Chain A
């Protein structure tokens, strides 16, 4: 019992130290990169050479293999940022705000790509690139929240102070995630309701689900690899800022 508690404290303490976190997680980057590349190669092969047309949408269903993973990540990245915001405000974990800051540009890009691919899928399917319906509008709001968070980070010189402000903003913005998720149930929207993660199981055949899941994991591992790399860079950037301050103080005295 005592040993277990000691081990847990050590693990917690070790990832709480930026230097230790970088040392611990650097070895994960290459395996994640190789796994991501392999999943993308397999997913693209499935998407273009080994998956059928949809009986209603025809070949445009292939857009789903890039649209759904980006849409999933747009919300998943925000969930990661929300947990990190709690880590900053509640547990005061030193790596939490590093995680929050590193994730924001990634989430913004995945959200922009979800909107872009959704528009290109919408035109042949619905006859329009854009409609102000619940799902699309709330996803656009999510993109604006991401951009606001990135701007907030850049507005502060003191990154520890910025972290607390951004954490509060992130937690307030988290209300948009259930709105995106349930918008297709709450309002009569052009966007179709959930067809994969449903209580009664997916509504699509295995031949379409397989490439979708492969691409889903490819994009998810891509995010994990990029997030880790961006966190390492942020740790180094903070060390750069500390050294710059120390050098400036040394020059003044």
Chain B
């Protein structure tokens, strides 16, 4: 690792903060997608599915 000089603490914390924010956002986005997909699958198993014209090529 390079020497970041006398203000290293500010540089390191800036990158740690951004990394935490981005990984948190990634985790939240993926978790939300997974929970919603699971809920949709459960509901579609319960509800009779109507033909969806739009998803056909």
- List chain A positions with a Cβ less than 8 A from chain B: 17-20, 23, 48-49, 53, 58-60, 62-63, 66-67, 70, 105-106, 109, 112-113, 116-117, 120-121, 123-124, 222, 226, 229-230, 232-233, 236-237, 239-240, 243-244, 246-247, 250
B55 partner residues in chain A, CB cutoff 8 A: 17, 19-20, 23
Residues of chain B in range 1-23 having any CB-CB distance to chain A below 8 Å: 1-2, 4-8, 10-11, 13-15, 17-18, 21-22
Known: A19-B54, A246-B47. A230 touches B14 (CB 8 A): no
Known: A20-B55, A240-B43. A120 touches B13 (CB 8 A): yes
Verify B17–A120 contact, CB threshold 8 A.
Answer: yes
A247 partner residues in chain B, CB cutoff 8 A: 43, 46-47
What is the minimal beta-carbon distance from A16 to any residue of chain B, in angstroms? Answer: 9
Verify B11–A60 contact, CB threshold 8 A.
Answer: yes
Verify B44–A243 contact, CB threshold 8 A.
Answer: yes
Verify B47–A243 contact, CB threshold 8 A.
Answer: yes
Verify A230–B5 contact, CB threshold 8 A.
Answer: no
Known: A19-B54, A113-B21. A120 touches B14 (CB 8 A): yes
